[in-house]
Chains A and B, each alone.
Chain A
Amino acid sequence: MSDNIPALAAGFIREQSRKGLLSTENNVINRFEQDAGNGLSLSELSENKEYGDLQRISGEKADYWYSTSCMTSSYAEIAVLLEEKDLLSLIVNTVRRESSLYPRPTAIEIFEYSPYFMKKEEIETMMSIIENDTRYSDIEKCATSIDKFYLFSTKFLPKAQAEYLSEWDAVGQYENQ
């Protein structure tokens, strides 16, 4: 393996991470190993202190690598689902995470924008799955006075609180600056 391959590989992963993209091992190997023989292992590489920022994250379809100095673990979780086009998990996980962590309800429309960029029809399809599958029975929808809709998880956020916070997000915050 050529001397500078590890540095180049790490640099590539970091650059991708900065753009919000993950790298698979194959992806990296194909890029840098063609004329350098074999032997590039990202696992080994990440043991090296110099490349300690390289981190593996597992998806349903593959393992991915990112740099913790350019991408946070919370974003990496989103990036995996974006990479695997798992729109259902993107919505469900985001809603549960926001309801439990901040806590707050999640405006459905955010999935149309960065970094999700789902089409309206895709969101509608996912919504009908969520509404009809008991595995997602904790996910509920609430409306605001301007007909903007939000999702929240009843496991973490009482309905009344979700309703208040939705109205605040949609209307209240702009009238109270």
Chain B
Amino acid sequence: MAVKGGWAGKILRVNLSTGNIERINTENFIRYIGGMGIGYKVMWDEVPAGTKAFDKDNKIIFGVGPLTGTGAMCSGRTNITSLLPSNPYNAVSDSHMGGHFGVELKYAGWDAIIIEGKSSRPVWLKIVDDKVTLEDAGIYWGEGTFATIAGITAMMGKQSQVAAIGQAGENQVNLSVIRTGPSHSAGGHGGVLGSKMLKAIGVMGTGAVNIAGDKMKWHELNKYALSLVGANNQHVVPRTPQPWAEYSHPGSRWTAKDGLYWEKADPPIETGTIRPEETNRIGYRTMKAMLDLGKNGPKYTVRMGGCAACPVRCKTHLEVPQLEQYGVDPHVANTCMGFYSPWGVLAGISGGKASVPGESKDDASVIAKALGAHYADDYGVWCNYGQIGRDFAWTYKHGVLKRVLPTAEYNSIDWESIEAGDPAIFADFYRRIAFKEGELSHLGDGAHYISERWNLGEDYWTYKGNKLWTKIGYPVHHSNESDAQVGSLISSMFNRDAQSHTHQNFIGSGLPTEVQKDIAAELWGSADAIDEPANYKPVTKAKMKFAKWSIVRNLLHDSLTVCNWMWPMTTSPLKERNYRGNTALEALYYTEATGEEISEEELDLQAEKLFHLHRALTIRQMGTVDMRNTHDQLTGWQFDMDPDKKAFEPGTIKLDREDYENTLTMFYEEMGWDPKTGAPTRATLEKHDLKFVADDLDVKNLLPA
């Protein structure tokens, strides 16, 4: 199929062993949508089962899609696919980052970069439109991400976008990131770049992305999308009661209100009250600092920043002058776990406090979060969605660190300061992890590996406070607290924490449960798809339809690429639409961008195919068809928590063992997978044009009976 619009039309393949640079036509990948889909197809075709994440034969694919760089709302994300080192089987997984890298890649004329082989010396990849070269990275090797990104940007020019690893990635720490821009990082695959000695990728493009459809229609579509969008996470009601709003919710990220300021802006900027129709002021709706940094967040906020084509802007840009006392830049930008994970490293042991002489409790917590974010980002350490902090606290409190660390090493750690909540400890903590210094640094291996190495036993896995979801070694990420079986199922399906926000955005929209139930009935056939929070009922078919739809849309978004922290537009802030959004919007954008008329259902089917491929990749890598028992089982606390309560009583998110097995069975059936093992059947694979996958699995005896 000829590429008319949306896609750039070609994919870059770079072999680091040979230095060979090749251009591939994107056409062969169009039925895999883009981004994540291209990644899975390459991994299936080119990376043999049993390959380890840091092996030369592993590949890493930076992919964008037909909407990236088109200006479609929130279309600035880059998907990265590779084997994941922190996964015990090194199964395939994705990390993704926002910023402007993906857009620049499209402007340079590329839909993806396939990196393969291993360089014999540190290099960085320079892409200026069609001109692609491997450059010596000797001067950057050993540097943090900030210096590397700044250095390459200075060399290539301000318009360039750079993605880089820090020392953690270089040293092949399992938990490491790839970073771009001031506030964007993709967690999990930094070490893969390190293993290939690829320090960074710099890209600059002078082209544009062609829109195949009618330009006026495209313009109208953008206006329409802006009318449906809410605040971050598609929260569609304000956080406080406001005259224009029928509903409000204290958990909403629609924080805008009179008297709320970006106080460090010069002069300070008041967000004011922002009504839904004020589409030119959407960027003021969410002040993430209030949520991530606590009461005093606004005091240090310069502005909100974000990814290309995002009107919402969820990254807080801070100026914290006190950071200069620690010898670091007072400007820090991040969001969500970027601030919360370092906080967990400190607060898990200090008892939830930070303390800085002369500073209030609330200021100290901002200083701690900003300083921790600086070090984690610069060294390029990944938190495994907050797990590293919980692991640090648990192993300290249970005497594990005392047992496994050599005495001299144990005594070299300033436990007194950590217990006191002194943020100065971050420099030491993250350096040890990033440079693999001593036994403590194994915290950077990930949960599965420290459990084995330090013999942590069942107590570690089953302790509710550790939040470990499966034995694969990742934690909850909108799991049983998010519509019980729906969030639980979604959390069990991937090879790392589920990065699906589809279900969570809907549940967290701020609308009353009854309104959500009406919408659920329209979309998934029954109001039973959603329960009142913490008043859950046994699994239903509608819940599994909701779960499947959530996953499928997540894969769709990471392939198109649009931000799954905003998309889909399941709801809207508009009372006149009865708070309905428009779930066909992705298909409308796709149609206009590519010139290929496609319906919502057809596009969902394409994305569903990618999820079958993900499952097949996992089966092939794990070497077993029995996904139910080897992949999808929980650690146990989910069933045993709240001993004084039964599952399905109000006030608990406790699951029931039998109900969970039913959940799996019903979901497998919904997917067309074998209800016993949870493996895709040949019929299902063939239905989704994956006969070649079925044939390969058949040869390996990995198709269900």
- Contact call B250/A107, Cβ cutoff below 8 A: yes
- Contact call A110/B250, Cβ cutoff below 8 A: yes
B247 at the interface (CB under 8 A from A): yes
**How far is B245's CA from A161's CA once the two chains are assembled, in angstroms?**
26
**How far is B337's CA from A101's CA once the two chains are assembled, in angstroms?**
31
Which residue on chain A has the smallest CB distance to residue B533? Answer: A165
Interface string of B661-683 (1 = CB under 8 A from A): 00000000000000000000000
Q: Which of B250, B340, B481 has the most chain A CB atoms closer than 10 A to its own CB?
A: B250
Which residue on chain A has the smallest CB distance to residue B644? Answer: A160
Contacts of B258 in A (CB 8 A): 114
Contacts of A78 in B (CB 8 A): 241
- Contact call A161/B244, Cβ cutoff below 8 A: no
A91 at the interface (CB under 8 A from B): no
**How far is B336's CA from A93's CA once the two chains are assembled, in angstroms?**
34
With beta carbons under 8 angstroms apart, the residue of B240, B512, B513, B535 that contacts A114 is B240
Interface string of A155-169 (1 = CB under 8 A from B): 000111111110011
Known A-B contacts A20-B243, A103-B532; A176 and B477 likewise in contact (beta carbons under 8 Å): yes
**How far is B472's CA from A132's CA once the two chains are assembled, in angstroms?**
53
Contacts of B478 in A (CB 8 A): 176
B371 at the interface (CB under 8 A from A): no
Contacts of A146 in B (CB 8 A): 352
**How far is B259's CA from A144's CA once the two chains are assembled, in angstroms?**
28
**How far is B249's CA from A159's CA once the two chains are assembled, in angstroms?**
20
B251 at the interface (CB under 8 A from A): yes
Q: State which residues 89-136 of B face A: CB under 8 Å.
A: none
Known A-B contacts A168-B534, A177-B336; A160 and B243 likewise in contact (beta carbons under 8 Å): no
Q: State which residues 226-243 of B face A: CB under 8 Å.
A: 240-243
- Contact call A114/B243, Cβ cutoff below 8 A: no
- Contact call B534/A161, Cβ cutoff below 8 A: yes
Number of B residues with CB within 8 Å of any CB on chain A: 40
With beta carbons under 8 angstroms apart, the residue of A70, A107, A165, A175 that contacts B243 is A70
With beta carbons under 8 angstroms apart, the residue of B245, B340, B352 that contacts A177 is B340
Q: State which residues 79-127 of A face B: CB under 8 Å.
A: 79, 101-104, 107, 110, 113-115
Which residue on chain B has the smallest CB distance to residue A67? Answer: B243
A34 at the interface (CB under 8 A from B): no
**Closest Cβ–Cβ distance, residue B647 to chain A (whole Å):** 13
**Closest Cβ–Cβ distance, residue A71 to chain B (whole Å):** 4
Q: State which residues 380-424 of B face A: CB under 8 Å.
A: 386
**How far is B291's CA from A73's CA once the two chains are assembled, in angstroms?**
29
Q: State which residues 30-61 of B face A: CB under 8 Å.
A: none
- Contact call B247/A74, Cβ cutoff below 8 A: yes
A72 at the interface (CB under 8 A from B): yes
- Contact call A72/B243, Cβ cutoff below 8 A: yes
Known A-B contacts A110-B250, A161-B535, A172-B481; A75 and B241 likewise in contact (beta carbons under 8 Å): yes
Known A-B contacts A158-B651, A160-B652, A164-B653; A75 and B535 likewise in contact (beta carbons under 8 Å): no
**How far is B653's CA from A160's CA once the two chains are assembled, in angstroms?**
11
**How far is B294's CA from A146's CA once the two chains are assembled, in angstroms?**
14
B649 at the interface (CB under 8 A from A): yes
- Contact call B242/A75, Cβ cutoff below 8 A: yes
- Contact call A176/B476, Cβ cutoff below 8 A: yes
**Closest Cβ–Cβ distance, residue A10 to chain B (whole Å):** 16
Which residue on chain B has the smallest CB distance to residue A94? Answer: B241
Contacts of B352 in A (CB 8 A): 146
**Closest Cβ–Cβ distance, residue B691 to chain A (whole Å):** 40
B246 at the interface (CB under 8 A from A): yes
Interface string of A40-71 (1 = CB under 8 A from B): 00000000000000000000000000000011
Contacts of A159 in B (CB 8 A): 651
B650 at the interface (CB under 8 A from A): yes
Number of A residues with CB within 8 Å of any CB on chain B: 38
**Closest Cβ–Cβ distance, residue A89 to chain B (whole Å):** 15
**Closest Cβ–Cβ distance, residue B293 to chain A (whole Å):** 10
With beta carbons under 8 angstroms apart, the residue of B244, B291, B477 that contacts A71 is B244
Contacts of B476 in A (CB 8 A): 176
**Closest Cβ–Cβ distance, residue B13 to chain A (whole Å):** 36
**How far is B532's CA from A103's CA once the two chains are assembled, in angstroms?**
7
**How far is B533's CA from A165's CA once the two chains are assembled, in angstroms?**
8
Which residue on chain B has the smallest CB distance to residue A69? Answer: B244
B645 at the interface (CB under 8 A from A): yes
- Contact call A174/B291, Cβ cutoff below 8 A: yes
Contacts of A176 in B (CB 8 A): 476-478, 481
Contacts of B246 in A (CB 8 A): 72-75
A17 at the interface (CB under 8 A from B): yes
Which residue on chain A has the smallest CB distance to residue B291? Answer: A174
- Contact call A174/B340, Cβ cutoff below 8 A: yes
**Closest Cβ–Cβ distance, residue A17 to chain B (whole Å):** 6
Q: Which of B291, B292, B651 has the most chain A CB atoms closer than 10 A to its own CB?
A: B651
Known A-B contacts A168-B534, A176-B481; A71 and B243 likewise in contact (beta carbons under 8 Å): yes
- Contact call B242/A20, Cβ cutoff below 8 A: yes
A141 at the interface (CB under 8 A from B): no
Contacts of B649 in A (CB 8 A): 160
Q: Which of B243, B249, B649 has the most chain A CB atoms closer than 10 A to its own CB?
A: B243
- Contact call A175/B247, Cβ cutoff below 8 A: no
Known A-B contacts A110-B250, A159-B651; A75 and B513 likewise in contact (beta carbons under 8 Å): no
**How far is B241's CA from A115's CA once the two chains are assembled, in angstroms?**
7
Contacts of A115 in B (CB 8 A): 240-242
**How far is B246's CA from A71's CA once the two chains are assembled, in angstroms?**
8
Contacts of A72 in B (CB 8 A): 243-246, 575
**How far is B292's CA from A17's CA once the two chains are assembled, in angstroms?**
33
Known A-B contacts A103-B532, A165-B533; A75 and B251 likewise in contact (beta carbons under 8 Å): no
B257 at the interface (CB under 8 A from A): yes
Known A-B contacts A175-B340, A176-B478; A161 and B243 likewise in contact (beta carbons under 8 Å): no
Contacts of B481 in A (CB 8 A): 168, 172, 176
Interface string of A133-171 (1 = CB under 8 A from B): 000000000000010000000000011111111001100
Contacts of B251 in A (CB 8 A): 169, 173
Q: State which residues 311-352 of B face A: CB under 8 Å.
A: 336-337, 340, 344, 352
With beta carbons under 8 angstroms apart, the residue of B243, B259, B512 that contacts A18 is B243
- Contact call A175/B386, Cβ cutoff below 8 A: yes
Contacts of B243 in A (CB 8 A): 17-20, 70-72, 75, 79
Q: State which residues 119-173 of B face A: CB under 8 Å.
A: none
**Closest Cβ–Cβ distance, residue B704 to chain A (whole Å):** 34
**Closest Cβ–Cβ distance, residue B86 to chain A (whole Å):** 20
Known A-B contacts A160-B645, A177-B337; A113 and B386 likewise in contact (beta carbons under 8 Å): no
Which residue on chain B has the smallest CB distance to residue A107? Answer: B250
Contacts of B535 in A (CB 8 A): 158, 161
Contacts of A102 in B (CB 8 A): 247, 249, 512-513
Contacts of B513 in A (CB 8 A): 102-103
Contacts of A107 in B (CB 8 A): 250
Interface string of B337-375 (1 = CB under 8 A from A): 100100010000000100000000000000000000000
- Contact call B250/A75, Cβ cutoff below 8 A: no
- Contact call B534/A165, Cβ cutoff below 8 A: yes
Known A-B contacts A160-B652, A169-B250; A101 and B245 likewise in contact (beta carbons under 8 Å): no
**Told that A160-B652, A163-B651, A164-B534 touch, could you supply 9 new A-B pairs with CB distance under 8 A?**
A18-B244, A74-B245, A102-B512, A103-B532, A158-B651, A160-B650, A174-B340, A176-B481, A177-B340
Write 23 A-B pairs (CB below 8 A) sorted by A numbering: A19-B243, A20-B242, A70-B244, A71-B243, A74-B241, A74-B245, A74-B247, A78-B241, A79-B243, A102-B512, A103-B512, A103-B513, A107-B250, A113-B240, A114-B258, A115-B242, A146-B352, A160-B650, A161-B650, A161-B651, A162-B651, A164-B651, A165-B533
B residues adjacent to A (C-beta < 8 A): 240-247, 249-251, 257-259, 291-292, 336-337, 340, 344, 352, 386, 476-478, 481, 512-514, 532-535, 575, 645, 649-653
Which 9 pairs show the lowest CB-CB distances between chains A and B? A160-B651, A177-B336, A161-B650, A158-B650, A164-B534, A20-B243, A71-B243, A72-B246, A161-B651
